[in-house]
Amino acid sequence: SAVISQKPSRDICQRGTSLTIQCQVDSQVTMMFWYRQQPGQSLTLIATANQGSEATYESGFVIDKFPISRPNLTFSTLTVSNMSPEDSSIYLCSVPGGAGGQTQYFGPGTRLLVL
Amino acid sequence: AQSVTQLDSQVPVFEEAPVELRCNYSSSVSVYLFWYVQYPNQGLQLLLKYLSGSTLVKGINGFEAEFNKSQTSFHLRKPSVHISDTAEYFCAVSPSGGYQKVTFGIGTKLQVIP
């Protein structure tokens, strides 16, 4: 299984500012995923980040709000831009694993509170 | 498209008692099924998965789940819970056959009472 770290682990931010979340994997992976877990809700996929191409965003998420970088096969960043209190969530990155990539391995998450 | 329904948002259970966390899914294609656990202030960890074969799947920490295709269910069970099992449990589904988008349920909070 992959070992995934995220920075920061938590942050408190003011509305209107932006925060960049980093995700580091201990092995090279083609695909990385970013999820949002809003309070009391399940995980929602924000986007899929492939190295060397633009991220693919899910319905309801746009690049201007959640720009993603994928500079190499072990690293990705997600920026939450122009934050509002509604952006207060846990943000998780994950990578596929297991034979055929059916399983997902998750990072510890970044807990964001926007005031 | 797939969907997952976790029927109980919270399940309190006394220590050493058995527990069942319910999960139903809907899909027009064959699926893979998963249970993930999220301990407080941590990310998600895979408990077990059903890909094919035996419908009874055993996972880590003494948990098991049974895939029931006719009832479109994948309930999670443990015969005797421990305080350390207190966590949130997520059922998830994806179309079978290589990596596909995973859809998660809303989660069930298991509270083990000493």
pLDDT in tens, B48-62: 999 888 999 999 999
Say what the pLDDT of residue B41 is.
79
Residue burial A32-66, b: 16+ Cβ < 10 Å; e: rest:
bbbbbbeeeebbbbbbbbebeeebebeeebeeebb
Tell me what pLDDT residue A104 has: 85
What is the per-residue pLDDT across A2-33, written as a single tens digit (0 to 9) for each? 889 999 999 999 999 999 999 999 999 988 99
**Closest chain B residue by Cα to residue A5:** B43
Chain B contact set for A107 (CB, 8 A): 43
Q: List the structure tokens of B51.
A: 């890909």
Confidence of residue A42 (pLDDT cuts 50, 70, 90): confident
Q: Does residue A99 carry a pLDDT above 70? A: no
CB–CB of B104 and A102 under 8 A?
Answer: no
Q: How is residue B110 written in tokens?
A: 């298991």
Nearest to B49 among A31, A103, A109 (CB): A103
B34 Cβ contact partners less than 8 Å away, ≥ 6 residues apart: A103, B46, B47, B48, B49, B50, B91, B92, B93, B94, B102
Q: Which of B25, B49, B99 to mutate to test the interface with A (most CBs of A within 10 A)?
A: B99
| Closest C-alpha to A113, from A33, A9, A6 | A9
Q: pLDDT at residue B34 above 80? A: yes
A106 and B102 within 8 Å at the Cβ level: the answer is no
Q: Are A1 and A107 in contact (CB under 8 A)?
A: no
Q: Find the angle CA(B112)-CA(B113)-CA(B114) to the nearest 5 degrees.
A: 120
From the list A42, A98, A102, which residue is nearest B106 (CB)?
Answer: A42
Cα–Cα distance, A104 to A95 (Å, whole number) = 6
Higher pLDDT, A115 or A54: A115
- Percentage of chain A beyond pLDDT 90 is 77
Give the whole-angstrom CA distance, residue A22 versus residue A58: 20
Q: Which of B43, B46, B94 is opposite residue A92, by nearest beta carbon?
A: B43
Q: What residues in B contact A111, CB-CB < 8 Å?
A: 41
List the single residue in B with minimal CA-CA distance to A47: B101
pLDDT tens per residue across span B50-99: 988 899 999 999 999 999 999 999 999 999 999 999 999 999 998 887 66
Q: Supply the pLDDT for residue A60.
A: 94
Tell me the average pLDDT of chain A. 92
- How far off is chain A from B44, nearest CA to CA, in Å? 6
Q: How many CB pairs under 8 A join A and B?
A: 45
Taking any CB pair shorter than 8 Å as contact, residues of chain A touching chain B are 4, 31, 41-43, 45, 92, 94, 96, 98, 100-109, 111
Of all residues in chain B, what percent carry a pLDDT higher than 90? 76
